[in-house]
Amino acid sequence: MPKWENNVRKVVPYTPGEQPKIKNLIKLNTNENPYPPSPGVLAALRSLDADGLRRYPDPAASDLINAIASHCGVSCDRVFAGVGSDDVLAMSFLTFFASGREILFPDITYSFYDVWADLFRIPYEAQKLDGNFEIVNRDYYKENGGIIFPNPNAPTGVLKSLDSIRDLLEHNRDVVVIVDEAYIDFAQDAEEVEKGKHQVPPSSALNLIDEYENLLVVQTCSKSRSLAGMRIGYAVGSKKLIAYLNDAKYSFNSYTMNQAAIAAGCAAFEDEGWFRQCTSKIIRTRERVKKELSGLGFHFPDSSANFLFITHPSIPARELFARLRQEKILVRYFDRPRIDNYLRVTIGTDEEMDTMLTFLREGVDLT
Ligand SMILES: *Cc1c(COP(=O)(O)O)cnc(C)c1O
C-alpha cells in the first residue's frame, strides 16, 4: 500500500437497493411509492424559470421550510431541510453525536446508521431488539452519547407507541434523541387518513417536540409523498436543535436544496388531498396483503409502514428472493444475522401485489 493511502479516511459504504433497468419489473425493493406525486409537482417543475437557474437557490430554502412548518404546525425556525432525510440524518449525526460516548440504536434497523457512525468516527453500541422485533427500552437507560431509531422501524415495520417513546425520552434528558419517521404517514388508519382527521399522525413524535428540547423528528418526501427522485428530507425540533443543524449545514454546503427541489416540495405539501388519497390507498392494500399472506402461511411482524417483512416456514427467504426475481418481482433481501430468512416487500399497487400473490399461490410450493 502506498504511504498516501494511510491518510485516506476509509469507510465501508452503505449499499442502496438496486435500481435495475429491467422492463416490466415489479419493483418492491426500495419502499418507493407506487403512485406518482401530485400533478401540482409536475406543473411546478414545468413553470421553473430557466433564466433563474443562473442564480444560486435561496440558501435558506424559505418557501419549502414555510410549507413544511405549516404542515407540521410549527414556526419556521423549528424546521431544517436537506437532500433527502439521508442528508438530514448524516448532518444530525455530525452535529449531535459529538460527545465521544457511544450512541445507541437497534441491532436490526436502517443500515445507514452504523455507516454514518463509522464515517464520523462516532462510537456506537447496537441494542438487541426482542423476539418480536421490539425495542427494549431499559437497554437505553444507561449512559450514552445519543439515541436514534426509525419509527416505524425498518426493515421490520414495527411501530413504537408514543408512550414508549416518551418513556425513552424521560430516561434520556441529557442527550439528543432522533426519531427517524420515514414511514410515519403509513402508521395510521386508512379511513382517518382519507378524511384528513389528523394534521399530524397521532403516533408521530412531532406530538412531543414541545415537551422535549432534545427531541429531533426527521421525515422525508421520498416515501409518502412520492418524491424519492427529488431528494427532500427535513427535521423538526426545538429552535436550538435547528439552529445547531443550520450552523453545521452552513459550514459544509449552503445550497443543499436546489430550485427544482424547493418548487417540487412546496407543490407536494400544497396538495394534501392527493397525499391523503395515495397514502390511504397504500394502507388499505397493505392490510389486504397481510390477510392474503397470512392465509399462505407467511409470518411477519405487524407492519405500520409501506412494506412487510415476511418469512415462511417452508421456503428459505434467499430462495424465494431468487424465484421472485425470475418472475421480474424484485424485493429486498438482507444477508444479516437474525433477519437472513426474511424478505422486505414494498407495498405496490393492488395489481402489482396481486401478481406477486398469484405467483406465490401457484408458482411456489408453500406446503
Ligand atoms: C428511506 C429511508 C430514509 C431516507 O430516505 P431519503 O430518501 O433519504 O429521504 C431514512 N430512514 C429510513 C428508515 C428509510 O427507510
Cα→Cα distances 172→82, 99, 144, 162, 273, Å: 26, 14, 9, 15, 38
What separation in Å is there between the alpha carbon of 52 and the centre of ligand 1? 30
DSSP three-state, residue 108: coil
Residue nearest to atom 14 of ligand 1 (CA): 182
Do 302 and 212 lie in one domain? The reply is no
Upper half-sphere CA count for residue 182 (Cβ side, 13 Å) = 29
| Ligand 1 binding pocket mutation candidate from 91, 116, 180 (most atoms within 8 A of CB) | 180
* Total domains, the chain: 2
The burial of 9, by beta-carbon neighbours within 10 Å (0-12 exposed, 13-18 middle, 19 or more buried), is given as exposed
pTM assigned to the model: 0.98
Rounded Cα distance between 329 and 218, Å, is 30
Give me the phi and psi of 251, to 5 degrees please: -95, 5
Q: What is the CATH number of the domain that holds 321?
A: 3.90.1150.10
What separation in Å is there between the alpha carbon of 89 and the centre of ligand 1? 9
Q: Which of 272, 291, 313 is the last residue of a domain?
A: 272
Do 280 and 335 lie in one domain? The reply is yes
Tens digit of pLDDT for each residue in 217-276?
999 999 999 999 999 999 999 999 999 999 999 999 999 999 999 999 999 999 999 999
367: in domain: no
Characterize the bridge pairing of strands 343-346 and 332-333.
Answer: antiparallel
Q: What is the CATH number of the domain that holds 258?
A: 3.40.640.10
Is residue 193 scored above 90 in pLDDT? Answer: yes
Rounded Cα distance between 124 and 145, Å, is 8
Mean pLDDT of the chain: 97
Rounded Cα distance between 162 and 87, Å, is 25
Rounded Cα distance between 351 and 332, Å, is 19
Q: Which of 242, 272, 302 is the last residue of a domain?
A: 272
Protein residues whose CB sits closer than 6 Å to any atom of ligand 1: 31, 84-86, 110, 150, 154, 180, 182, 220, 222, 228, 233
Rounded Cα distance between 229 and 81, Å, is 16
Atom of ligand 1 nearest to the CA of 85: 9
What separation in Å is there between the alpha carbon of 222 and the centre of ligand 1? 7
Atom of ligand 1 nearest to the CA of 220: 9
Q: What is the pLDDT of residue 16?
A: 86
Residue nearest to atom 5 of ligand 1 (CA): 85
